Structure 1
Amino acid sequence: MKKIFTGLFCAVAVSTALAQDIQNNPGSNHGNKFEQLGTILSTPNEQRTASGAPGVKYWQQRADYNIKCELDEKNLVLTGSETVTYYNNSPDPLSYIWLQLDENEHSTVNNANYQSSSTMPSQMSTQMLDRVSGRNTTEDNKLGDIITKLTDASGKKLSYVINKTMMRVDLPTPLKPGQQFVFNLDWHYKITDRLTIGGRGGYEYFPEDGNYLFTMTQWYPRLCVYSDFQGWQNHQFTGRGEFALTFGNFKVQMTVPADHVIGSTGECINYSAVLSPERLARYQKSKTAKVPVEIVTLAEAKKAEVSPASAKKTWVFQANNVRDFAWTSSRKFVWDAMGQNVGNKNVMCMSFYGKEAYGLYSKYSTRLVAHTIKTYSDFTIPYGYPVAQSVEASNGMEYPMICFNYGRTEKDGTYSESAKNGMIGVIIHEVGHNFFPMIVNSDERQWTWMDEGLNSFVEYLTEELWDNKFPSKKGAAYTIVDYMKLPKNELEPVMTNSENIVRFGPNAYSKPATGLNMLRETIMGRDLFDYAFKEYAKRWAFKHPTPADFFRTMEDASGEDLDWFWRGWFYGTDPCDISLDSVKVSKADVDGVPKFAERNGAVNKVAAPMVPVYDDISKVRNRGDKSIQFYTDKDTATHDFYWKYDRGLVNVDQNKYESIMKGKTPSGPSTEALAADDQKKYAGKYFYELSFSNKGGLVMPVIVEFTYTDGTKSIDRIPAQIWRLNEKSASKFYVQDKEVASIKLDPMRETADIDESNNYWGKLPAPSKLQLFKQRSAVNGRNPSYGINPMQVSK
């Protein structure tokens, strides 16, 4: 899911130890940050190997759906019936199965009831007040899923229990491994005003033309995941943590007003029945078009708004090997499309949007869809589905083959640059979710970063390839600095359950995206990283990976030991703050003959006997044991000068030693003055010793930029392993051919260093001016616009 985070806006673990950074050598300055993750990660087995790949006995469940539903636009009710075939591919017999009832999020009696602290504001909108009032009541508001029938394939009633947003279906007999179970379920629910009551699905009403735009998401009771690593994933749906879902095949029939246009997961298999011949011809033309073709034009959409139809039509869609199914329906839609070749397969890229978004979406949306699936495919695996769609619904949410985004213009058709860039970012992000987690199907409710963070990272790569000047808000290291500066009591590790994260956006989206970009650009290099990242996508496409599978695959496929990075960036909250504490400068002395330093203060004295510094208990007892005879005592042939010297049987005259040593260099090789050529060779060398301290606690590479007196520069990249023997301080000795004027750490801001004031030595850059201003409040929702935008001025 895509959100806009301004400034600093905003575990239930698989095992107790999984998200803990267990220290190997606590209290020490080494032996912690570079130790292997070991038992922090789950134990490899036949389902998940130590390499990070699926094992020889990997398995996952499957659920196929045949659904019929009808949209009652007048009464705002959706009624449906579904036949589900559930396949038990696990080695375990199952006595019950769990379904998700996400619509119960809106129920006053069946919601998850996850409450957080709240305060009384000084001002609030009436919509916000109504929302709070609705949550505080105990009276049943009649929202949520109403189950009207649940039977097995033969029509026999099944027992079930609804626990808030989850539903347990008790099976008549245990479902054995390899068996399948078919059941029928009828239900209905009242569709809610998404913009008023909140949530991902519902309707938006347009009072100007009296029409609705429906986003039908999380709309049918759907199977939870049963997996090898945690059994049933039946955590409650609170509205934040998204979904762990089972792959399967869908056939869905949607009956809607005849003038509605539907966009949906999957492919429509009855376009010939629901489209006019003219629209069908346009659709066929769009398959090979190089630019978007309008299947439903703006004029047609406007006309439909003023003359609603009373008849109904049924659209039928088929989707195979998907984990979910969503759709949208409205008479307001303009619909355009074009084909995009991905992996020698033509993918239909399509957009649906009302007149309110026409000025932006007709120009950009479908082109962005095509760019996104092509770019993501290049970085991961070829896009696995036949369709990819973007729907403008003043929203930001994703489902297989379809996503809901925002990006409306002013009434005059102009728009601000922030509105345009926000639309570009959200479309790329939500379309990109087709890869993470729709195909590489991680558990979003447990580990949000595995879909949002990975997706935000590839979103950043895709934005960069869309426009080199695009102002990406996450991915580059410097964008996470403000978050990393926060006090520790306001932070939690990336490895934290979604419901327990305070600053959701930076933690689950930006920090993991930044970390992956650091790995790619600064730590591993693009070639190694890209190969390993592709390998992860290939291994876990259409499967259920865990964090351990990702960490292990990245190391296994690259040959890089990255446990230190996972520990620091994903399991910890320490920031990067590397300080350049001091610089020692020396020049070569090429004229004299060097004197060697004294060793233990005895260079000019006769070397003392080399005997033990302490007469230990073993030596004392051995001497007292009359049964022991020492070899050198028995064999006098071993009595050399030093045997006697060690025992004080011979003496060396100190005066004689000094007389002999006069004029000689003691303790080492003989030396001589440098020849003229060597003097010339080494006279111009400059020597520098740089001392660093790790003030933030996070070990990272040290990037050193030298600026020389002649104005040239050079960069040395020191790997993070320089900290492995001392995690708090390090130093590096340099030999330079030119004199250094200044030194700067992390010149390209690659490591998210939170304090750049201690990164300099020598001549500092001129200070910039800080402009002060008083902030005005935003007045235009997700895309705040102040005054007249430049586009209006140009008109």
Structure 2
Amino acid sequence: MEQSYCSLPILDIRNRLRSGAVMEMYGQSNEVMNCFHADKGEWLFSDNIHNLITKMDKSFVKIAAIIIVVFTGHISLSQSRYDPSVLFPALPLLPPGNEYRTATGEPGPAYWQNQSDYVIDATLDDQRNVIEGVVTITYTNNSPGALSSLWLQLDQNVYKSYSRGILSGLFQYKDAGEQVKDGGFEIATVKLADNAKTSITYDIYDTRMKLSLPKPLQKGQQLTFQIQYSYLFPVNYKNADFQVNRTDIMPSRNGNIYAVAQWYPRMCVLDDIEGWNTLPYLGNGEFYLDFGNFQVNITLPSSYLVEASGDLMNPEEVLTPVQLKRWQSARDGASRVFIRAANEVLEASSRPAKPTCTWKFKMDRTRDFAWTASKSFIWEASAFNLGDGKKVMGSSLYPVESDKSNSWARSGEYIKFTLQHFSERWFTYPFNKAVNVASNLDGMEYPGIVFCSARDTGNIYWAVVNHELGHTWFPMVVGSNERKYAWMDEGFNLFMDNMATKEFNKGEFKGYAEIDMPVAALFVDTLLPILSRPDIIPGNQVYSIQYQKVAYLLALLRNEIVGAKRFDAAFRKYISDWAYKHPTPWDFFRSMNASIGEDLTWFWKSMFMENFKLDQKITKVENGDKERTFVTIENTERAAMPLVVDITYVSGIHERKSFPVEIWQYNAVYTFAASRKEVVSRVVIDPDQVYPDVDRSNNIYDLKK
């Protein structure tokens, strides 16, 4: 007789063996109560032990005979890779909470972060494609200690000939032997912004700049300093082929379109987790930034239209009288207004008759600032209300080539829906406007402004606009470290996008689903874990790992494991708790655990920290004629999930049984009884195929076969 390990909890076996006729006749004999396998830490239990438990009216002799057979035979084990102690450890998997970050996933009473405020005066030279500017930074030290130096990011130094980004291979030259002019930043001076104009010693290391302060900046103190700099756009690399572009110049029929980002020296983040975050910018990983306030003044030829992250403070100085009235109508009304229409793009009267304009913008409580400029723009805008009554203006700028009914002509519609939907479901949109710009960038996000492809149409255009605007919530509000944890903004965002896409216009679009790979492919051995630094992820795995897999897993947790009500409340609390702050993965895991009220260690460990696979297998179906049928399921791989089984009886009656993930806390095999005393004709694991089972060929038992 073949035997296996017990699939029932130890206490359940004890209680059932102690109950009824078994204990009355057999008592607490050592043969029963000491059938514990010390090596495996499990109770031994044969296939026939079910008869012992269910036939309580049998004689003492028959029961004793069964027990002797059960616990003296050789035990045959499966080859499962599953180890319950890995997913259900006694010691906590997450680091303990502290005064900065609590064990319940909230910022602690001593949580701190520094603040960086910027005043930027910049000029665009459209002949040389160079920005020249002075950035005045006021840095507030809220950290517990004094700072003898400060670190800044010079991301665009990645375009210098021998940058780490180029040498590491992400950026490639078409002609590696040709000498090209370095792009990126040139620093002229760094000075204290006081009357003495004291210079600050600085050193540049690739994409980072270190300032050595004349005296330490104490806790609670502010330091204001100025950097005079210039920035050369990478468009000058005519013989280069860059795989990543987050700032760019796109030629169009009526003039270049400038997408201007990472265009000024930006402060590195100092936090309580890693101190100064000075990872070099290689091109793939994105950004980690302080929050602060911005005042930005941009001077350029008056023939250009400009839009930017912040609120336009001087519309009367940069718009024609006609455009000013239209702009005010768009800001205050609810209908679509063309501030400059397609037939006006080439008209000189559509711009003020003066050599230059200085566009002034202001934005508070934000982590970054980006802008756009072009002579070719159609500019349309409209205002709409969010659920709490707040009014927001959606602004769209695109060339005449993009003015298509299945493309940029619907930009305003997409802005309105996305902001209203996300605000109602998760967290109110924090800015006064949202700008969507047609550019050479396939899709890139900044506070209050996004750059989408000028060429996209149909479904992919919807998907990109919805996704980039969705980044408002991650990472523009919840300021996670994108340089290390890209999945905390890309994956979270795509999860929300997928929900929004289903609700937009009765499911008109598929979103990114058209490029998704099969779920089983998200768990192949060659895929890196989600908790991998973005710069080490191969290019062909970036979307699968950082976007699709995270979105799939959050939907799985929401829809199948904890339920939408509990998940949504927990996710909203996480956003609210960490708005304008810097959470880590541990903060997210702890926050969700605490709000949902479950220890989800098994989920975070197997799905995010590791790339564990799931394979639930039907190993045995013991049909009884007039007795209940017993079904044995084996967990053959290292991941665990709840178990859902659909049973069909020969009479045609269906029964669905659901079991929590805790059934796998004991071992790799679980046996349960069908409810009816009738022959079972078919058994199917996960009939709706919602779990990531990598081998569905072993999920079906068919009596006929």
TM class by shorter chain equals 0.7 to 0.9
Counterpart position of 1:228: 272
Deviation at 1:587, TM superposition (A): 3.4
- Structure 1 counterpart of 2:208, from 156, 166, 182: 166
Gaps of 5+ in 1: 1-23, 118-127, 410-418, 590-686, 766-795
- Structure 2 counterpart of 1:701, from 642, 647, 651: 642
Asked whether the 8 Å contact 1:407–1:423 carries over to 2, the reply is no
Partner amino acid, structure 2, of 1:92: G
Relative to structure 1, is the Cα distance of residues 208 and 587 closer, same or farther in structure 2, using a 3 angstrom cutoff?
same
Counterpart position of 1:141: 181
- Write out per-residue CA displacement over residues 713-752 of structure 1, whole angstroms, 9 at most, x where no aligned residue: 55333221111101x2222222138765433222222112
In 2, distance between residues paired with 1:569 and 1:319?
A: 38
Asked whether the 8 Å contact 2:159–2:182 carries over to 1, the reply is no
Size of the aligned set, in residue pairs, is 617
Asked whether the 8 Å contact 2:626–2:678 carries over to 1, the reply is no
In 1, distance between residues paired with 2:180 and 2:454?
A: 36
Deviation at 1:478, TM superposition (A): 7.7
In 1, distance between residues paired with 2:376 and 2:300?
A: 14
- Write out per-residue CA displacement over residues 94-144 of structure 1, whole angstroms, 9 at most, x where no aligned residue: 011001001101111344455259xxxxxxxxxx97x2435x77x572311
Counterpart position of 1:621: none
Counterpart position of 1:483: 522
Counterpart position of 1:372: 418
Counterpart position of 2:391: 346
Counterpart position of 2:326: 282
* 1:403 is aligned to 2:456: no
Deviation at 1:290, TM superposition (A): 4.2
Counterpart position of 2:664: 723
In 1, distance between residues paired with 2:349 and 2:287?
A: 35
Partner amino acid, structure 1, of 2:521: D
Counterpart position of 1:150: 190
Relative to structure 1, is the Cα distance of residues 187 and 468 closer, same or farther in structure 2, using a 3 angstrom cutoff?
same
Deviation at 1:212, TM superposition (A): 0.5
* 1:564 is aligned to 2:608: no
* 1:269 is aligned to 2:313: yes
Counterpart position of 1:495: 531
- Write out per-residue CA displacement over residues 243-275 of structure 1, whole angstroms, 9 at most, x where no aligned residue: 110111000011122121112111000111111
In 2, distance between residues paired with 1:333 and 1:438?
A: 26
Secondary structure of 2:397 counterpart: strand
- Write out per-residue CA displacement over residues 217-250 of structure 1, whole angstroms, 9 at most, x where no aligned residue: 0000000000011110010000011111011100
Counterpart position of 1:666: none
In 2, distance between residues paired with 1:287 and 1:553?
A: 38
Counterpart position of 1:321: 365
Asked whether the 8 Å contact 1:200–1:217 carries over to 2, the reply is no
Q: TM-score, normalised by structure 1?
A: 0.73
Relative to structure 1, is the Cα distance of residues 742 and 380 closer, same or farther in structure 2, using a 3 angstrom cutoff?
same
Asked whether the 8 Å contact 2:119–2:135 carries over to 1, the reply is yes
Relative to structure 1, is the Cα distance of residues 81 and 475 closer, same or farther in structure 2, using a 3 angstrom cutoff?
same
Relative to structure 1, is the Cα distance of residues 553 and 474 closer, same or farther in structure 2, using a 3 angstrom cutoff?
farther
Q: Which moved more, 1:274-283 or 1:425-434?
A: 274-283
In 1, distance between residues paired with 2:153 and 2:522?
A: 34
Counterpart position of 2:99: 46
Counterpart position of 1:254: 298
Counterpart position of 2:683: 743
Partner amino acid, structure 1, of 2:554: L
Q: Counterparts in 2 of 1:397-546, with a 5 A limit?
A: 397-406=444-453, 408=455, 419-466=457-504, 467-468=506-507, 470-473=509-512, 479-484=518-523, 486=524, 488=525, 490-502=526-538, 503-546=541-584
Secondary structure of 1:515 counterpart: helix
* 1:387 is aligned to 2:415: no
* 1:89 is aligned to 2:133: no
Asked whether the 8 Å contact 2:294–2:363 carries over to 1, the reply is yes
Percent same amino acid at aligned positions? Answer: 32
Gaps of 5+ in 2: 1-40, 43-79
* 1:760 is aligned to 2:692: no
In 2, distance between residues paired with 1:707 and 1:285?
A: 65
Secondary structure of 2:689 counterpart: coil
Partner amino acid, structure 2, of 1:564: W
Relative to structure 1, is the Cα distance of residues 114 and 50 closer, same or farther in structure 2, using a 3 angstrom cutoff?
farther
- Write out per-residue CA displacement over residues 51-74 of structure 1, whole angstroms, 9 at most, x where no aligned residue: 110011111000110001111111
Counterpart position of 2:17: none
Secondary structure of 1:133 counterpart: coil
Deviation at 1:206, TM superposition (A): 2.6
- Write out per-residue CA displacement over residues 464-518 of structure 1, whole angstroms, 9 at most, x where no aligned residue: 221435324459998432232x3x2x22211111111222111111111111111
Q: Which moved more, 1:299-308 or 1:384-393?
A: 299-308
Q: Counterparts in 2 of 1:175-324, with a 5 A limit?
A: 175-193=217-235, 197-198=241-242, 199-206=244-251, 208-209=253-254, 211-303=255-347, 311-324=355-368
Secondary structure of 2:383 counterpart: strand
Partner amino acid, structure 2, of 1:494: I
Secondary structure of 2:550 counterpart: helix
In 1, distance between residues paired with 2:448 and 2:701?
A: 53
Q: TM-score, normalised by structure 2?
A: 0.82
Q: Which moved more, 1:752-761 or 1:246-255?
A: 752-761
Q: Which has the larger radius of gyration?
A: 1
Counterpart position of 2:26: none
Relative to structure 1, is the Cα distance of residues 565 and 37 closer, same or farther in structure 2, using a 3 angstrom cutoff?
farther
Relative to structure 1, is the Cα distance of residues 254 and 347 closer, same or farther in structure 2, using a 3 angstrom cutoff?
same
In 2, distance between residues paired with 1:730 and 1:114?
A: 53
Asked whether the 8 Å contact 1:476–1:517 carries over to 2, the reply is no
- Structure 1 counterpart of 2:152, from 83, 99, 121: 99
Relative to structure 1, is the Cα distance of residues 471 and 362 closer, same or farther in structure 2, using a 3 angstrom cutoff?
closer
Relative to structure 1, is the Cα distance of residues 58 and 80 closer, same or farther in structure 2, using a 3 angstrom cutoff?
same
- Write out per-residue CA displacement over residues 504-561 of structure 1, whole angstroms, 9 at most, x where no aligned residue: 1111111111111111001000000001001100100000001111001101111111
Deviation at 1:453, TM superposition (A): 1.3
Partner amino acid, structure 2, of 1:565: F
In 2, distance between residues paired with 1:169 and 1:423?
A: 43
Q: Counterparts in 2 of 1:580-619, with a 5 A limit?
A: 580-588=618-626
Counterpart position of 1:691: 632
In 1, distance between residues paired with 2:421 and 2:704?
A: 41
In 1, distance between residues paired with 2:594 and 2:514?
A: 24
Partner amino acid, structure 1, of 2:460: G
Deviation at 1:582, TM superposition (A): 2.6
Counterpart position of 1:355: 400
Asked whether the 8 Å contact 2:527–2:611 carries over to 1, the reply is yes
CA RMSD of aligned residues (A): 2.9
Secondary structure of 1:188 counterpart: strand
Deviation at 1:307, TM superposition (A): 11
In 1, distance between residues paired with 2:263 and 2:129?
A: 13
In 1, distance between residues paired with 2:675 and 2:325?
A: 72
Counterpart position of 1:788: none
Asked whether the 8 Å contact 1:302–1:355 carries over to 2, the reply is no
Partner amino acid, structure 2, of 1:483: L
Asked whether the 8 Å contact 1:477–1:749 carries over to 2, the reply is no
In 2, distance between residues paired with 1:208 and 1:283?
A: 25
In 1, distance between residues paired with 2:614 and 2:344?
A: 56
Q: Which moved more, 1:471-480 or 1:144-153?
A: 471-480
In 1, distance between residues paired with 2:511 and 2:643?
A: 25
Partner amino acid, structure 2, of 1:375: H
